[in-house]
């Protein structure tokens, strides 16, 4: 797998080897980190591209008001990833430590418990989205067309919430077991399928935002089915062998495992909810600037999501590698991996930010049907600011990886909360009510990454996370 001539892998590996020549990372660890990180980065690019294409297709088919409607519905859909991602945070911590210790029975129990908890947590969200979509959208805006289109999207896309959560669990199981490539294949393929379905439904059948919602649901069902078959049988036709096989008929409800998943995952869930919940007041504030600024903000956030994909890869690679080392009681190697992944991530973010900054206007124009729209220059400025801010996401995400792997997740939740609710949102609000204006939005982007980066790196440097991890390690580490 590591020999595949994938351009993303070659770019990431090139950065890693350059850092190794400078003495900043070990060459062997750079290669191993690359092999775990690049598939997740490709998955992130595919999925964020899918989100961006959703917005672009809807915008081209139905205009900027449709972009606004989908944008307002976006935070609600994000609840799926906050809930599923929180449980998945506990999953990768338990799976990676048990995989490192070769405790396969406990690993299977962790996977089944994670799936059970995900379904229980997400089904009520689906019900609320189905019954009250208009009321939910009305909390964010009073514009009738945006509410109508956003509610139409939210009601249908909510059916995919449990499947999206289960996809995150399946992905973390494979990454925690040292196989990010298969996770990339399945989730990346799902994103491609989603784009294809959307093109047919939005343009071919003229379904607009409804088509975008249906495409998201159907693609998530396909990917969930693939994970279930592959993990149950230990392999998937056309994909190959999985690193672990999970008995689908084993015990699902184990109180101790569920407690560990909740204990580790609840702060991770809270961290995801910080991002999601913060979007509600942020969009309400942005709405006060006018529809052009809302459309520009939604476009910039989609591009931000694409730029942020390296952090997904490096964060999960760090969690997996650090967790496996901790499972073997090798705290020194775990700490070395943590330091090197942070350096690696920052360098990669710097490269991606430079590329996006150069082509910012061209990228923005791909989202609108009218290149003379006043939303375009606003979006370009927001993208340029995002390019600066996203570099610090390498520090934040890279530092969060070891904390997540160890189970020390409360700190990363707190850092994200402070960054969003005590930094980003207040700055945006000040801009909306004073002459600071759009500069407040620019500063909000910067605060969103600077504050968590500072706090997460401090916590990582203290080494407290190593002590925390001892409460979650399997009873019989490998080598005992």
The pLDDT tens digits of the residues spanning 409-429 come to 788 888 989 998 999 999 999
Q: Who contacts 273 (Cβ-Cβ below 8 Å, separation ≥6)?
A: 79, 82, 86
- Tell me, what's the pLDDT at 4? 42
Highest mean pLDDT among 49-53, 136-140, 220-224: 220-224
**Considering the domain boundaries, does residue 2 fall inside one?**
no
Residue 242 confidence (pLDDT)? 85
On whether residue 433 sits in a domain, the answer given is yes
Asked if residue 17 is part of any domain, the answer here is yes
Q: Is residue 479 part of a domain?
A: no
Mean pLDDT of the 212-219 span:
86
Q: Does residue 476 lie in a domain region?
A: no
465: domain range?
7-469
Please check whether residue 321 is in contact with residue 178, taking contact to mean a CB–CB distance below 8 angstroms. Answer: no
Q: How far apart are CA 297 and CA 87, in angstroms?
A: 29
Q: Which residues contact 451 (CB under 8 A, 6 or more apart)?
A: 415, 418, 419, 422, 423
Is the pTM of the predicted complex or chain greater than 0.85? no
pLDDT confidence tier of residue 451, bands split at 50, 70 and 90? very high
Answer yes or no: are the C-beta atoms of 326 and 406 closer than 8 Å.
yes
Residue among 254, 265, 227 at smallest CA distance from 109 = 254
The candidate with the shortest Cα–Cα distance to 268, out of 119, 89, 394, is 89
Residues in contact with 22: Cβ distance below 8 Å, sequence separation at least 6, in sequence order: none
Which H or E run contains 236?
strand 235-236
* pLDDT class of 385 with cuts at 50, 70, 90: very high
Structure tokens of 256? 């101790």
Gyration radius of the chain's alpha carbons? 21
Q: Is 72 among the domain residues?
A: yes
Complete DSSP assignment for 409-445:
HHHHHHHHHHHIIIIIHHHHHHHHHSTTTHHHHHHHH
Query: In this structure, what token pair is assigned to residue 346?
Result: 């920052």
CB-based contact 168:85 (threshold 8 Å)? yes
For 26-44, what is the mean pLDDT? 82
Position 474 scores a pLDDT of: 64
Q: Which residue has the tokens 């400078």?
A: 22
Q: At what angle do helices 291-307 and 27-62 cross, to 10 degrees?
A: 150
Quick one: tokens of 179? 């196989």
258 occurs within a structural domain: yes
- Nearest alpha-carbon partner for 208 in 295, 150, 270, 264: 150
Band (210; pLDDT cuts 50, 70, 90): confident
Q: What is the pLDDT of residue 443?
A: 93
The verdict on residue 478 lying in a domain is no
pLDDT band at 363 (very low <50, low <70, confident <90, very high): confident
Q: Domain count of the chain? A: 1
Residue 222 — pLDDT band, cuts 50, 70, 90?
Answer: very high
């Amino acid at each position: 797998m590591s020999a595949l001539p994938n351009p993303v892998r070659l770019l990431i590996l090139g950065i890693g080897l350059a850092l190794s020549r400078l003495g900043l990372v070990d060459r062997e660890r750079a290669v191993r980190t690359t092999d775990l990180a690049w598939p997740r980065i490709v998955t992130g690019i595919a999925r964020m591209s899918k989100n961006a294409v959703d917005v672009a297709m809807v915008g081209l088919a139905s205009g900027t008001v449709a972009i606004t409607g989908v944008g307002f519905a976006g935070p609600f859909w994000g609840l799926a990833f906050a809930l599923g991602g929180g449980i998945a945070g506990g999953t990768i911590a338990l799976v990676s430590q048990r995989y490192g210790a070769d405790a396969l029975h406990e690993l299977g129990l962790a996977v089944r418990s994670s799936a059970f908890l995900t379904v229980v947590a997400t089904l009520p969200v689906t019900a609320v989205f189905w019954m009250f979509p208009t009321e939910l959208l009305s909390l964010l805006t009073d514009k009738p067309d945006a509410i109508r289109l956003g509610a139409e999207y939210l009601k249908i896309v909510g059916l995919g919430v449990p499947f999206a959560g289960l996809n995150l669990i399946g992905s973390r199981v494979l990454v925690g077991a040292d196989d990010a490539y298969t996770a990339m294949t399945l989730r990346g393929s799902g994103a491609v399928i989603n784009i294809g379905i959307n093109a047919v439904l939005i343009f071919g059948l003229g379904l607009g935002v409804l088509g975008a919602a249906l495409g998201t649901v159907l693609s998530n069902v396909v990917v969930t089915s693939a994970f279930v078959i592959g993990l149950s049988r230990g392999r998937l036709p056309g994909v190959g062998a999985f690193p672990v096989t999970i008995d689908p008929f084993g015990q699902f409800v184990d109180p101790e495992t569920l407690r560990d998943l909740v204990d580790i995952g609840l702060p991770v869930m809270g961290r995801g909810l910080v991002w999601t919940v913060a979007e509600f007041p942020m969009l309400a504030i942005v709405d006060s600037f006018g529809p052009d600024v809302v459309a520009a903000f939604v476009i910039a956030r989609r591009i931000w999501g694409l730029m942020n994909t390296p952090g997904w890869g490096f964060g999960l690679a760090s969690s997996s590698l650090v967790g496996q080392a901790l499972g073997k009681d090798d705290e020194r190697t775990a700490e070395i991996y943590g330091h090197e992944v942070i350096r690696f991530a920052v360098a990669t973010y710097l490269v991606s930010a430079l590329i996006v900054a150069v082509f910012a206007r061209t990228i923005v124009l791909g989202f609108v049907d009218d290149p003379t729209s006043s939303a375009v220059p606003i979006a370009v400025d927001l993208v340029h600011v995002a390019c600066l801010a996203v570099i610090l996401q390498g520090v934040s995400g890279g530092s969060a990886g070891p904390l997540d792997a160890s189970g020390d997740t409360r700190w990363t939740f707190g850092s994200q909360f402070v960054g969003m609710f005590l930094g980003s949102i207040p700055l945006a609000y000040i801009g909306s009510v004073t002459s600071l204006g759009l500069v407040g939005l620019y500063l909000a982007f910067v605060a969103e990454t600077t504050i968590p980066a500072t706090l997460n790196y401090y916590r990582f440097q203290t080494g407290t996370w190593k002590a925390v991890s001892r409460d979650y390690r399997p009873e019989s580490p490998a080598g005992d």
